[in-house]
Amino acid sequence: MSEIIGFGMSLSFVCLEQLAYLFALEAFAAPKRSKKSLWMGYVLLLIYNIVVSLLITNTALKLLGILLALVLFGLYNFSATWYTMLFATTFIYMLIYCVDSVVLQSAVMLTNMDTMQLLISPFWGTVLAIASKLICVGAGYGLKRFLGYRFYQTPKSWGSWVATLCLPAFAFGFTVWGFPRPNADSHTEAVFLGTSIGLLLLSILQIFVVEQLDRHRVVQRDNLVLTQQLRLKTENAQNLTEAYTAQRRLSHDFTNHIGVIRALANQGGDKAVCSYIDQIAGELQPYLLVVHAGSDLVDAILNQKFAVAQRQNIIMDFSLSNLTHLPIQESDLSVVLCNLLDNAIEACAFIPENRLIHVRITWQEDELLVCIRNSVAHAVEIADGKISTSKKDDLLHGYGLRNVSAVLQRYHADYAIQCTNQEFIFTAIFYDCFSNEKG
């Protein structure tokens, strides 16, 4: 009977260890399986650990087999590189061993019993095991709660992971080297225990510090890329305005000239020339200017995107007010329009038919409404005002909408993103806008 109870207690402790591992793993990697699959893997891993414990007597081989199984379990159920998973597994089991050692040291000091007396005592052995495993579960849940796989979102090399593991490895080695210490006085034991606890807490704190430093580095990189993109957008907007002005003059003159030539050919009865002129005019029609909203830059952008949409068999229609007097700088509005329309055209390219884009820039009393609606092939996942992208370029991941968001925040504008009935809608409102002329 006592053997069954002992086996049940050992099984419970293994379950708690694996639960701590599972919690902590989500601080380093994003789950890629369903919860059902994850817990099925947890049960299989538990069975494997029991079999290994029963069949293998060598402690080193047993530990190696368990660590290898945990790494494979993590790679199958979480999105992470092999060295990330190896770091997470090593760190968590170093943490578990250090907690076990610190709890045992604390009990030695409090009870004035030696290590062996505590370990062979059914009462104290059970109490200490439960205490250490619950502390490990709490630490693992804390890592999951406060990091929540954000630590994994910043790509790291294997060298970075090794450097991060140095302090936990030192804490592990210090605990292994210093405990148990026979014939040590109470002062020495207290100093050693305090040092062990301090190293253990510093090892956990280091994970949070490294995560914050990595986030800061990513923000700096993002800001640099955003600044460069905004500068390029501004330069492109200026060049586009100049080209639009010249094109508008030439388009106006071309339309007049082609009309005169056709009239002369018609008077002369030359049907072949008339037919040729009609053909040329029809081919050039998509490239003629279709938008005249009063702002040279906005007109240039909308006409350019309209021509791109036409070439891809995308229907683009407009609902525009008079934009002669805009409440924001034209270069800023160009950033908003270029990024949103580029995204809309790209989304429509994946649809075999019914490719539609609707552009609305209208006044509503003293507010300027900018709304872009476009068809999408499937529903878009939206979380916290952000969308997941299918683009493979990690560096440019989401930078288009970040540029838009940066401009809108500068003008204290509100925006909303929604996707319903296979239609993606981006709406922004600029408040307290005053204009002398509104359409």
Tokens (6 digits) for 138: 């709490």
78 vs 32: CA distance, rounded Å: 5
Integer-rounded Cα radius of gyration of the chain: 34
Helix axes 296-311, 330-348, angle to 10 degrees: 10
Count CB atoms within 10 A of the CB of residue 67.
15
pLDDT for 359 equals 93
> Which distant-in-sequence residues (6+ apart) come within 8 Å of 82 by Cβ?
71, 75
End-to-end CA distance of the chain: 89
pLDDT for 35 equals 81
Helices within 179-311 (DSSP H only): 186-267, 271-284, 296-311
Describe the strand order of the beta sheet including 414-420 as a list of residue ranges.
315-320, 356-364, 367-375, 423-430, 414-420
pLDDT for 395 equals 37
Judged against a pLDDT cut of 70, whether residue 333 lies above it is answered with yes
237 vs 331: CA distance, rounded Å: 6
User: Is 316 within 8 Å of 347 (Cβ atoms)?
Assistant: no
214 by Cβ neighbours in 10 Å (0-12 / 13-18 / 19+) ranks as: middle
Report, as an integer, the average pLDDT of 150-167: 65
pLDDT for 230 equals 64
26: closest CA among 159, 147, 180, 189? Answer: 147
What average pLDDT is seen over the chain?
A: 76
Among 59-63, 218-222, 360-364, the minimum mean pLDDT is found in 218-222
pLDDT for 357 equals 94
87 vs 189: CA distance, rounded Å: 31
Long-range contacts of 382-385 (CB under 8 A, 24+ apart): 382/417, 382/418, 382/419, 385/415, 385/417
Pairwise pLDDT comparison (264 vs 42), residue with the higher score: 42
13 vs 19: CA distance, rounded Å: 10
User: Can you spell out the DSSP letters for 288-310?
Assistant: S-----S-HHHHHHHHHHHHHHH
293: closest CA among 430, 433, 439? Answer: 439
pLDDT for 285 equals 55
> Which distant-in-sequence residues (6+ apart) come within 8 Å of 378 by Cβ?
422
Tokens 């030192």 found at = 170
Enumerate the β-bridge partners of residue 356. 315
Judged against a pLDDT cut of 70, whether residue 5 lies above it is answered with yes
Report, as an integer, the average pLDDT of 12-40: 82
Report, as an integer, the average pLDDT of 232-246: 64
Helix axes 59-77, 82-111, angle to 10 degrees: 130
Going by pLDDT thresholds of 50, 70 and 90, the confidence category of residue 394 is very low
What's the pLDDT tens digit per position in 78-95?
A: 877 777 788 788 888 888
User: Is 87 within 8 Å of 108 (Cβ atoms)?
Assistant: no
Judged against a pLDDT cut of 80, whether residue 224 lies above it is answered with no
Helices within 349-427 (DSSP H only): 399-410
- The domain limits of the chain are 2-218, 291-439
Torsion from C-alpha of 94, 100, 106, 108, nearest 10 degrees? -120
41 vs 388: CA distance, rounded Å: 28
User: Is 98 within 8 Å of 171 (Cβ atoms)?
Assistant: yes
Count CB atoms within 10 A of the CB of residue 25.
26
- Counting residues of the chain whose pLDDT is more than 70, the rounded percentage is 70
Q: Identity (one letter) of the amino acid at 357?
A: I
Tokens (6 digits) for 279: 């053909």
Q: Is 394 helix (H, G, I), strand (E, B) or coil?
A: coil
Enumerate the β-bridge partners of residue 361. 320, 370
Beta strands at 414-420 and 386-387: parallel, antiparallel or unpaired: unpaired
pLDDT for 314 equals 92
pLDDT for 80 equals 76
pLDDT for 439 equals 44
372 vs 424: CA distance, rounded Å: 8
415 vs 428: CA distance, rounded Å: 4
User: Is 427 within 8 Å of 369 (Cβ atoms)?
Assistant: yes
CATH architecture type of domain 291-439: 2-Layer Sandwich (3.30)
